[in-house]
């Protein structure tokens, strides 16, 4: 049986591909170019269980048709991870909203056309951004669970880059649930989503470590680039989860019955830039005097949060202990240090 992983060269997706290959699944990955696909194959020592296909532009709603048509008989599971994650645009529709929505709709329409009776499970890599209301005033009484939805619309999502990214994740995920509701008599697949917060942890391959990292890990990298005179923010930047837990959750999302129809909100607690900095000083003395200093992280220590995330339902469902912030930061920093040296 084959698992289709869209956007297979992404930070989270590479960890998913590794987990799938370790469990002897055949993997069909998509990449935006032949070169990116070939590089990923090399990373996995040209494992014969990994086949790559090119999907150059997910904004095109027919982008996935050729992949599903070609592999329809083999694909039982589809993991849709491909979606833009960055804030460096002012063309919000073109760069964020349209690719996120059309990529999701396109892969589901392709399943309907070519594999309506063979694909059994679909997992969408969504985000806590689809749960979170960007414009809600900060409050300790504001509690988010797996049941909350970001209220953004196509129009309100175009106020700024953060709202556009968060809106794109909400719109894409809603597109998937609505598609299944509308087509439940035509397709046989069951749907789950994985909704991570900021995703930390090492790149799968050290060759992926550059001057800048993927959007979430760049928060750790930014601390490593700080100066001893810098005063870091102790205000809570958000919640974190380790990439290896996110990858594992994608497998649980299609392997288990108890995850059908569920949104798995992946988080293991809050962090600030100062929390990250304090972990680095504790475990990497070589950075003493080279980056921002250790300081009391009052907000994290005192729980001065702008919202509360209660993902106890997800934790109970999955049933394993998530990787700690310390280990996640340590493994990320160790890899960066090794590459720089």
Output the six-digit token pair for 291: 């980056």
Calpha distance 328→200 (Å, rounded):
6
Give the CATH number of the domain where residue 263 resides.
Answer: 3.40.50.720
Task: Compute how many other C-beta atoms are within 10 angstroms of the C-beta atom of residue 244.
Answer: 21
Among 61-65, 93-97, 100-104, 303-307, name the one with the lowest average pLDDT: 303-307
pLDDT at 86: 66
Catalytic residue among 26, 169, 248, 262: 169
Q: What is the pTM of this model?
A: 0.96
For residue 30, report the phi and psi dihedrals to the nearest 5 degrees.
-115, 145
Identify which has the larger pLDDT, 301 or 12: 12
Tens digits of per-residue pLDDT, 207-244? 888 776 777 889 999 999 999 999 998 877 899 999 99
Output the six-digit token pair for 261: 């129809």
The three-state DSSP-derived secondary structure of 130-181 is HCCCCCCCCCCCCEECCCCCCCCCCCHHHCCHHHHHHHHHHHHHHHHHHHHH
Reported residue count of the chain is 341
pLDDT score of 48 more than 90: yes
Tens digits of per-residue pLDDT, 119-150? 999 999 999 999 999 999 989 899 999 999 99
Domain range for residue 116? Answer: 2-340
pLDDT score of 335 more than 80: yes
Tens digits of per-residue pLDDT, 166-198? 999 999 999 999 999 999 999 999 999 999 999
CA angle at 242 for the pair 40 and 218, rounded to the nearest 5°? 75
Give 287-294's long-range contacts (Cβ < 8 A, gap of 24+).
Answer: 287/224, 289/228, 290/228, 291/223, 291/224, 291/225, 291/226, 291/227, 291/228, 291/230, 292/223, 292/226, 292/227, 292/228, 292/230, 292/231, 292/232, 293/228
pLDDT at 207: 82
DSSP string, 40-104: HHHHTTT-TTEEEEE---TTSTTTTHHHHHHHTTTEEEEEE---------S-HIIIIIHHHHHHH
pLDDT at 84: 72
Calpha distance 168→315 (Å, rounded):
26
Question: Measured in whole angstroms, how far is the alpha carbon of residue 228 from the centre of its chain?
Answer: 32
- Report whether 144 contacts 310 (CB < 8 A): yes
Calpha distance 12→266 (Å, rounded):
13
- List, in order, residues 6 or more apart from 301 with CB less than 8 Å away: none
- Report whether 272 contacts 235 (CB < 8 A): yes
- Report whether 64 contacts 30 (CB < 8 A): yes
pLDDT score of 292 more than 90: yes
**What is the β-pairing status of strands 270-271 and 238-242?**
antiparallel
The mean pLDDT of 268-291, rounded to a whole number, is 96
- List, in order, residues 6 or more apart from 304 with CB less than 8 Å away: 235, 236, 298
Q: What is the CA radius of gyration of the chain?
A: 20
- Report whether 221 contacts 292 (CB < 8 A): no
The number of domains in the chain is 1
Calpha distance 321→241 (Å, rounded):
11
Output the six-digit token pair for 245: 């837990």
Known catalytic residue at 169: yes
pLDDT score of 31 more than 80: yes
pLDDT at 303: 78
The mean pLDDT of 139-164, rounded to a whole number, is 95
| Percent with pLDDT over 90 in the chain | 86
């Amino acid at each position: 049986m084959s698992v289709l992983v869209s956007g297979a060269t992404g930070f989270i997706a590479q960890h998913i591909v590794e987990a799938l290959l370790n469990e002897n699944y055949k993997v069909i990955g998509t990449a935006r170019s032949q070169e990116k696909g070939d590089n990923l194959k090399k990373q996995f020592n040209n494992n014969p269980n990994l086949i790559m296909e090119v999907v150059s532009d997910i904004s095109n709603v027919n982008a996935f048709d050729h992949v599903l048509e070609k592999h329809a008989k083999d694909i039982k599971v589809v993991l849709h991870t491909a979606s833009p994650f960055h804030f460096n645009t002012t063309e919000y529709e073109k760069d964020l909203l349209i690719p996120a929505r059309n990529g999701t709709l396109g892969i589901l329409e392709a399943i309907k056309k070519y594999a309506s009776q063979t694909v059994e499970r679909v997992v969408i890599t969504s985000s806590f951004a689809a749960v979170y209301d960007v414009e809600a005033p900060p409050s300790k009484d504001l509690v988010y669970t797996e049941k909350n939805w970001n209220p953004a619309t196509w129009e309100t999502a175009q106020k700024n880059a953060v709202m556009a990214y968060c809106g794109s994740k909400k719109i894409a995920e809603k597109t998937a649930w609505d598609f299944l509701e509308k087509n439940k008599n035509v397709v046989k697949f069951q749907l789950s989503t994985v909704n991570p917060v900021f995703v930390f942890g090492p790149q799968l391959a050290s060759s992926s470590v550059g001057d800048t990292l993927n959007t979430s890990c760049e928060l750790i990298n930014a601390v490593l680039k700080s100066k001893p005179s810098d005063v870091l923010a102790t205000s809570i930047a958000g919640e974190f989860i380790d990439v290896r837990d996110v990858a594992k959750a994608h497998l649980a999302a299609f392997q288990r019955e108890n995850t059908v129809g569920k949104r798995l909100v992946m988080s293991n607690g809050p962090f600030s830039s100062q929390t990250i900095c304090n972990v680095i000083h504790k475990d990497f003395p070589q950075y003493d005097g080279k980056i921002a200093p250790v300081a009391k992280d009052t907000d994290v220590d005192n729980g001065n949060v702008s919202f509360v995330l209660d993902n106890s339902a997800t934790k109970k469902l999955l049933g394993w202990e998530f990787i700690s912030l310390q280990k996640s930061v340590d493994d990320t920093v160790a890899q960066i240090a090794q590459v720089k040296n």
